[in-house]
């Protein structure tokens, strides 16, 4: 029996299959209630580079209900052609109807590469599609490229994050990968760009509707680091869980979220959802304030793409200052409440920002 199984080729594993019809790099745009996840635009930015290298079109797939606006947005973010499947049954994400649409589009239009965000829904959908096609899937990539043989080089941390593994799928098409949010940069939104829009009929079988979404209840503890414009993150320097309330005050004053280093998470001071870094979330906010965080490489890889980094640390030699645009040396228990107060005062028209922060010199940033 084992011998028989060995001799029998896997479905689709014929080396003589002609894949030349497969062309184009496709990004599946993830949305909820008509609002796209930032990772979708970030992936379109990176996929534009891959498509140009392959001299292929950049494709987007938008699935949902009343999502015509998103199809246009996909064009503004770089797509040459957008496939849109719009139906009331697709209003909320469910694995079977969404994967049915994706499978139809992939089989009909044959993209060479399919990418989606490594979000809860993206991981679920990508796994279902790859299993059905069948094809290979690299989950949670942090680097993407293509080689001279048009192979997708999807790299991701491996072996307890100690090395970066580059994974190829040589025998199947499309080549698939999910990618982390916050790693790639979206193209600037440009309304002068326009995409060809292709309407796809909904491929939904009544059998596919085995679950009903009755509504959404937002978690009160919900953390959305991936899409946050401002993150105030705390580390072991906080000395205990209580100090996170100081960070929350500052984050609330700035309209942001609270993040954390792994040390703070491992100590049980805050949930893993808040962890930023190699084994946490990769973030790209406009402002990242690192409080009592030393700046270990595993933390920095997760936040170094922030537009502005402010570090608050009592040790002037702390590595985090090398990555910071603004550094404040001192005790966080004095600085954070003062900052929160200053931000609140400024919001109510009382203080200029120059009164709060002094930019670091280039030497201070280690440049």
Ligand X SMILES: Cc1cc2nc3c(=O)[nH]c(=O)nc-3n(C[C@H](O)[C@H](O)[C@H](O)COP(=O)(O)OP(=O)(O)OC[C@H]3O[C@@H](n4cnc5c(N)ncnc54)[C@H](O)[C@@H]3O)c2cc1C
Applying CB under 6 A, the residues found at the interface with ligand X are 160-161, 235-237, 261-264, 275, 277-280, 292-294, 296, 298-299, 302, 312-315, 318, 331-333
Among all chains, which residue has been given the structure tokens 């965000």? 117
What count of residues does the chain have? Answer: 367
Integer-rounded Cα Rg, in Å, for the chain is 23
Cα–Cα dist 274/280, whole Å: 8
Among all chains, which residue has been given the structure tokens 């993830």? 30
Cα–Cα dist 116/105, whole Å: 15
Based on CB atoms, which residue is closest to ligand X, 41 or 321? 321
Report helix, strand and coil shares of the chain as percent, to nearest 5.
30, 25, 45
Question: 318: Cβ–Cβ under 8 A, 6 or more apart, which residues?
Answer: 294, 295, 311
State the minimum distance, in angstroms, from the CB of residue 317 to ligand X. 9
Cα–Cα dist 170/340, whole Å: 54
Based on CB atoms, which residue is closest to ligand X, 166 or 278? 278
Residues facing residue 60 across a β-bridge: 27, 82
Q: How many H helices and E strands in the chain?
A: 9, 17
Phi-psi region of 305 (alpha: psi -120 to 50; beta: other; left: phi over 0): alpha
State the minimum distance, in angstroms, from the CB of residue 329 to ligand X. 8
State the minimum distance, in angstroms, from the CB of residue 338 to ligand X. 13
State the minimum distance, in angstroms, from the CB of residue 239 to ligand X. 6
Based on CB atoms, which residue is closest to ligand X, 56 or 294? 294
> In this structure, how many other beta carbons lie within 10 angstroms of the beta carbon of residue 254?
20
Cα–Cα dist 330/313, whole Å: 6
Nearest alpha-carbon partner for 172 in 42, 329, 27, 14? 14
Based on CB atoms, which residue is closest to ligand X, 24 or 237? 237
State the minimum distance, in angstroms, from the CB of residue 349 to ligand X. 30
State the minimum distance, in angstroms, from the CB of residue 15 to ligand X. 38
Based on CB atoms, which residue is closest to ligand X, 97 or 235? 235
Cα–Cα dist 115/26, whole Å: 6
Cα–Cα dist 136/47, whole Å: 18
Residues facing residue 144 across a β-bridge: 154
Based on CB atoms, which residue is closest to ligand X, 20 or 160? 160
**CA angle at 282 for the pair 276 and 283, rounded to the nearest 5°:** 90
Based on CB atoms, which residue is closest to ligand X, 239 or 350? 239
Based on CB atoms, which residue is closest to ligand X, 166 or 298? 298
State the minimum distance, in angstroms, from the CB of residue 238 to ligand X. 8
State the minimum distance, in angstroms, from the CB of residue 263 to ligand X. 3
**Tokens at 157, concatenated:** 């941390």
Based on CB atoms, which residue is closest to ligand X, 93 or 323? 323
Cα–Cα dist 326/361, whole Å: 9
State the minimum distance, in angstroms, from the CB of residue 192 to ligand X. 39
């Amino acid at each position: 029996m084992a011998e028989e199984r060995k001799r029998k080729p896997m479905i689709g594993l014929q080396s003589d299959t002609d894949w030349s019809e497969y062309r184009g790099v496709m990004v599946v745009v993830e949305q909820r209630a008509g609002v796209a996840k930032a990772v979708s635009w970030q992936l379109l930015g990176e996929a534009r580079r891959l498509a140009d290298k392959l001299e292929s079109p950049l494709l987007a797939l938008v699935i949902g209900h009343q999502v015509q606006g998103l199809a246009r947005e996909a064009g503004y973010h770089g797509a040459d052609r957008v496939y849109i499947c719009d139906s009331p049954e697709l209003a909320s994400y469910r694995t079977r109807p969404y994967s049915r649409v994706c499978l139809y589009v992939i089989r009909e239009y044959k993209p060479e590469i399919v990418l989606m965000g490594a979000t809860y829904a993206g991981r679920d959908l990508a796994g279902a599609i790859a299993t059905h096609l069948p094809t290979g899937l690299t989950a949670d990539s942090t680097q993407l490229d293509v080689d001279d043989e048009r192979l997708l080089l999807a790299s991701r941390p491996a072996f307890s994050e100690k090395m970066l593994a580059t994974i190829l799928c040589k025998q199947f098409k499309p080549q698939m990968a999910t990618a982390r949010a916050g790693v790639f940069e979206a193209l600037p939104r440009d309304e002068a760009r326009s995409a060809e829009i292709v309407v796809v009929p909904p491929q939904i079988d009544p059998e596919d509707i085995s679950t009903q979404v009755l509504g959404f209840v937002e978690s009160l503890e919900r953390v959305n680091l991936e899409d946050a414009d401002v993150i105030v993150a705390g580390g072991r320097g906080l000395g205990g869980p209580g100090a996170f309330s100081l960070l929350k005050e500052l984050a609330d004053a700035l309209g942001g979220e609270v993040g954390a280093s792994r040390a703070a998470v491992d100590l049980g001071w805050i949930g893993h959802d808040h962890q930023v870094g190699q084994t946490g979330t990769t973030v790209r906010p406009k402002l990242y304030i690192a409080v009592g965080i030393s700046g270990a490489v595993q933390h920095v890889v997760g936040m170094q793409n922030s537009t502005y980094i402010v570090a608050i640390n009592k040790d002037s030699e702390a590595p985090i200052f090398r990555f910071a645009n603004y550094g404040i040396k001192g005790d966080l228990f004095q600085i954070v409440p003062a900052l929160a107060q200053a931000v609140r005062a400024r919001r109510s028209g009382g203080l200029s920002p120059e009164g709060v922060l002094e930019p670091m010199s280039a030497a201070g940033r280690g440049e």
